[in-house]
Amino acid sequence: MNELVKERIAIAEKFKTIHKLKFKSPERRNAMLKQTAFLEYPISLVLLLVLLYSAASTIFFASSWDNAALLVCVSLGMALRSPYAYIEVKLIEHIESIKNLDGDFNPELNIELERMISKLNQKTILIVLWVITGIIVLSAFLQVFEVNPYWNYFPVIVFVFSTFLLVRITYIGFKFKKNLKSINI
């Protein structure tokens, strides 16, 4: 194992997870994380697409938005967590696959990976997203009890925020996969 590979493994291990799965063995934790990631990631993408369709149909065709509160709660809650489990699984698999790699690769890939991981480890971005999601979800819960008179103004906010989350999830997943596959094994 050369220095570039050791550096890459150290960079990948810097990723801070938001999934606090506690198991006695790391193999069991990784197996459960893999199941969670590959269920949560596509389901959150589909739910965001359904939410976008629902919000868009309300905005453009004046359909009913009153029954969308539960969809808003579930899809936004899953959309914030899903890329982190997916990325963690991909990083674990990548570490295992490059442990015995002796060849060289472009050192810029390590710099790019470190930049992406440091961006995801910044909790301020995640906190801002959680606060926005919390406001929207609180509003949706109030709508469930029919005490939110402003719920009819939320389709535009939900549409914009869901679009942002969908682009963010897709972009993060694509960039990580591209970087991890750039190393020829």
CA-wise closest residue to 87 among 176, 26, 9, 178: 176
Predicted confidence at residue 185, as pLDDT, reads 56
Confidence of residue 128 (pLDDT cuts 50, 70, 90): very high
Residue 163 dihedral angles phi and psi, to the nearest 5°: -60, -45
Predicted confidence at residue 23, as pLDDT, reads 66
Residues 25-57 have pLDDT tens digits of 777 777 877 887 888 888 888 988 998 888 888
Residues 112-127 have pLDDT tens digits of 989 998 988 888 888 8
Cβ–Cβ < 8 Å for 156, 59: yes
Single pTM value for the model:
0.81
The residue written with tokens 């194992």 in the block is 1
% of the chain surpassing 70 pLDDT = 94
Domains in the chain: boundaries: 3-181
Cβ–Cβ < 8 Å for 67, 118: no
